[in-house]
Amino acid sequence: MKSFGQNTTLKFEKAYEIVIGSACRLGVERVAISDNSALNRVLAEAVVSDIDMPPFNKSAMDGFACRRADLANELAITETIPAGSLPTKAIGPGQCARIMTGAVVPEGADCVIMVEYTENSGANRIRFTGTHTTDNICLKAEDIKKGDVVLQPGQIIKAQHIAVLASSGCVKPLVSLQPRVGIIATGDELVEPDKQPTACQIRN
Q: Quick one: what percent of the chain has pLDDT higher than 70?
A: 97
Q: Are strands 95-99 and 63-66 parallel, antiparallel or unpaired?
A: antiparallel
What domains sit in the chain, N to C, each tagged with a CATH number?
Answer: 26-53+145-178 (3.90.105.10), 58-138 (2.170.190.11)
Rounded Cα distance between 64 and 118, Å, is 9
Which CB contacts under 8 angstroms, 24+ apart, belong to 175-178?
Answer: 175/28, 175/29, 175/30, 175/31, 175/38, 175/41, 175/42, 175/43, 175/44, 176/26, 176/27, 176/28, 176/41, 176/42, 176/43, 176/44, 177/26, 177/27, 177/28, 177/29, 178/26, 178/41
Measured CA to CA, the distance from residue 121 to residue 94 in angstroms comes to 13
**The predicted structure's pLDDT at residue 23:** 84
Q: Does residue 24 have a pLDDT over 90?
A: no
With bands split at pLDDT 50, 70 and 90, how would you rate the model's confidence at 25?
confident
Mean pLDDT of 129-155: 96
| Model pTM score | 0.73
On the question of pLDDT at 2 being above 60, the answer is: no
Is residue 108 a contact partner of residue 92, using CB atoms and an 8 Å limit? yes
- On the question of pLDDT at 3 being above 70, the answer is no
pLDDT tens digits, residue range 41-81? Answer: 999 999 999 999 999 999 999 999 999 999 999 999 999 99
- Among the ranges given (8-12, 64-68, 92-96, 142-146), the one the predictor scored with the smallest mean pLDDT: 8-12
